[in-house]
Structure 1
Amino acid sequence: MVTTTNSEKAIIEEERILTELEKNAISRRQHLLEMRKRFVGRNQGNGDVDSEQNCGGERFPIQFRSYKPVNVQQQSSPSEPPREEINLLKEKIEGQLEAGKDAKIGESLDINTLAPRKVDWDLRKGIKEKLDKLDKRTNKAIIQLISWFFFVWVLFWNIWTL
């Protein structure tokens, strides 16, 4: 009689689980192939790999669900865009590009207008009022310091000359 240990039982269970997972994967794959065939409208016997490759190159009509297209050609089936419209667009774009090349950019630009602004110009724009108040206070403080220094100097001079 053959006895199995716990580790051997675990290995056997893992193999059984893997096979069940593989079976589930195969059944899901077959189900997806069947759904694809129903969607495409093909009902062939067994789902060969060749049938998957053949259905990739076909073009299906566009289903407009959220709006009605203005162009009648788009309503019937998807086709290549009309070449006349593409040629007109190309001509317009080329004309605009040529018009842009004709402008003399170097002569019309002034070096002074190209000079960059100060780094903090946008910051000063938002806090200009606060800076004005601080400038007034700073000027007032400077005047007070100068007058105090002058007063001290006059006192010192008067004491020294006595």
Structure 2
Amino acid sequence: MEQSVGSLQEQALKRKERLKALRGRQLQGREPADGEPDRKRVADEAETEERHRELKLRNYVPEDEELKDRQMPKAKPASVEDKVKDQLEAANPEPVIEEVDLANLAPRKPDWDLKRDVAKKLEKLERRTQRAIAELIRERLKGSETELAGVVGAAGAEEGDSD
């Protein structure tokens, strides 16, 4: 769709007229627009009044007497020492309890209940094992006594021959 040069110029003129009307309304204190509802106009007017009331000059030192009333008092810097002290106190660890039972802290092994139940049976077996070991040692000693007597007798016989 091609538009002729004449229609484009007409559209540009209409835009310029709308912009002039808009600027005129802004300069004259916002006259009502054709399609604008009344409550929207009232809300916009209240907003602009609040903006003017909220004007506060923090860093700017005005020369005008009216603006000097809106100047904020100089802010005092916060005490850094107090903040640092608070942080240092927060960083200090609380004293740890001196006595710690490691048996309570250490996790139990998964077979601890089995060991507890089998402990009585193991005691009986341990006693039987000790008795069996003692009997074996006695038997060897009896057998070694006879061997010792034979060795001693043989040694005595050899001494008599060499004399």
TM-score by length of 1: 0.34
TM-score by length of 2: 0.34
Considering only CA atoms, is the larger Rg found in Structure 1 or Structure 2? 2
Q: Which has the higher helix share?
A: 1
